[in-house]
Amino acid sequence: MSNYNQELKDIKKSGYYRDRLIIQSPQESIIKINKKRYINFSSNNYLNLSNNKNIKRAIVSKIQKLGVGSGSSPLISGYTEEHHKLEKDLSKILNFESALVMNSGYLANVGLANAIAEKNIIIFQDRLNHNSIIEGTRLSTSKLIRYNHNSYADLEKKLANFKKYKKIIYTDSIFSMTGEITNIPILSSIAKKYDALLFVDDAHGFGVLREHENIFPSCLNFFHGKNLKIDAYIGTFGKAVGTFGSFVAGSKNLINFLVQKSKPYVYSTALPAALAGATRESIKLIMKTKTLNRTLKNNIHFFRKNATENKININESITPIQTITYGCPRKVKKIQNKAFENGLFIQAIRYPTVPKNKDLLRINLTSGHNLKQIEKLLNFLRYI
**112-134, pLDDT tens digit by residue?**
999 998 888 999 999 999 999 98
Closest by Cα among 175, 171, 168 to 191: 168
**Residue-level pLDDT at 88:** 98
pTM attached to this predicted model? 0.95
- Whole-number percent of the chain with pLDDT over 90: 91
Closest by Cα among 155, 229, 154 to 192: 229
For residue 373, is pLDDT > 70? yes
What's the domain range around 316? 4-40+290-382
Cβ atoms of residues 113 and 142 within 8 Å:
yes
**Residue-level pLDDT at 141:** 87
Residue 198 belongs to a domain: yes
What's the rounded Cα separation, in Å, for the pair 335 and 169? 37
Residue 46 belongs to a domain: no
Question: How many helices (H) does the chain have, and how many strands (E)?
Answer: 14, 13
Q: How would you classify residue 92: left for phi > 0, otherwise alpha for psi between -120 and 50, otherwise beta?
A: alpha
Cα-trace Rg, the chain: 21
AA identity, residue 11: I
pLDDT digits (tens, 9 = 90+) for 69-91: 999 999 999 999 999 999 999 99
pLDDT digits (tens, 9 = 90+) for 233-282: 999 999 999 999 999 999 999 999 999 999 999 999 999 999 999 999 99
Cβ atoms of residues 158 and 166 within 8 Å:
no
**At 375, is the pLDDT very low, low, confident or very high (cuts 50, 70, 90)?**
very high
- Whole-number percent of the chain with pLDDT over 70: 99
**At 224, is the pLDDT very low, low, confident or very high (cuts 50, 70, 90)?**
confident
What's the rounded Cα separation, in Å, for the pair 77 and 338? 50
* Residues 10 and 92 both lie in one domain: no
Q: What is the dihedral of CA 174, 175, 178, 180, to 10 degrees?
A: -40
What's the rounded Cα separation, in Å, for the pair 335 and 326? 10
For residue 1, is pLDDT > 70? no
Residue 70 belongs to a domain: yes
Residue 45 belongs to a domain: no
Q: Is the peptide bond before 272 cis (omega within 30 degrees of 0)?
A: no
For residue 225, is pLDDT > 80? no
Q: Which of the 8 DSSP states describes residue 241? A: T
Last residue of a domain, one of 255, 272, 288: 288
Q: What is the mean pLDDT of the chain?
A: 95
CATH of residue 109: 3.40.640.10
Closest by Cα among 355, 364, 356, 314 to 149: 355
Residue 261 belongs to a domain: yes
* Residues 302 and 370 both lie in one domain: yes
* Residues 14 and 74 both lie in one domain: no
Cβ atoms of residues 171 and 150 within 8 Å:
no
Cβ atoms of residues 45 and 239 within 8 Å:
yes
For residue 32, is pLDDT > 90? yes
Mean pLDDT of 34-54: 97
* Residues 211 and 334 both lie in one domain: no
* Residues 274 and 302 both lie in one domain: no
* Residues 17 and 64 both lie in one domain: no
Closest by Cα among 197, 238, 324 to 46: 238
Residue 48 belongs to a domain: no
* Residues 270 and 250 both lie in one domain: yes
Task: Note every long-range contact of 312-316, with CB atoms under 8 Å and residues 24 or more positions apart, other chains counting.
Answer: 312/378, 312/381, 312/382, 315/178, 315/179, 315/360, 316/180
Last residue of a domain, one of 288, 313, 340: 288
Cβ atoms of residues 292 and 323 within 8 Å:
no
Cβ atoms of residues 44 and 366 within 8 Å:
no
What's the rounded Cα separation, in Å, for the pair 33 and 190? 47
pLDDT digits (tens, 9 = 90+) for 324-365: 999 999 999 999 999 999 999 999 999 999 999 999 999 999
Closest by Cα among 292, 318, 294 to 305: 318
* Residues 295 and 278 both lie in one domain: no
Residue 275 belongs to a domain: yes
**Residue-level pLDDT at 349:** 94
For residue 163, is pLDDT > 90? no
CATH of residue 325: 3.90.1150.10
Cβ atoms of residues 366 and 43 within 8 Å:
yes
* Residues 199 and 303 both lie in one domain: no
**Residue-level pLDDT at 233:** 98
* Residues 296 and 189 both lie in one domain: no
Q: What is the dihedral of CA 45, 50, 52, 54, to 10 degrees?
A: 130
* Residues 25 and 70 both lie in one domain: no
Number of domains in the chain: 2
**Residue-level pLDDT at 339:** 97
**Residue-level pLDDT at 198:** 98
List of E strands, the chain: 30-33, 36-40, 98-102, 121-126, 143-147, 166-172, 197-201, 232-236, 246-250, 321-325, 344-345, 347-349, 360-364
* Residues 82 and 195 both lie in one domain: yes
Mean pLDDT of 305-314: 96
Backbone angles phi, psi at 131, to 5 degrees: -55, -35
H-state helical runs in 72-216: 81-94, 105-116, 131-138, 152-160, 184-193
**Residue-level pLDDT at 170:** 97
Residue 212 belongs to a domain: yes
Last residue of a domain, one of 288, 318, 347: 288
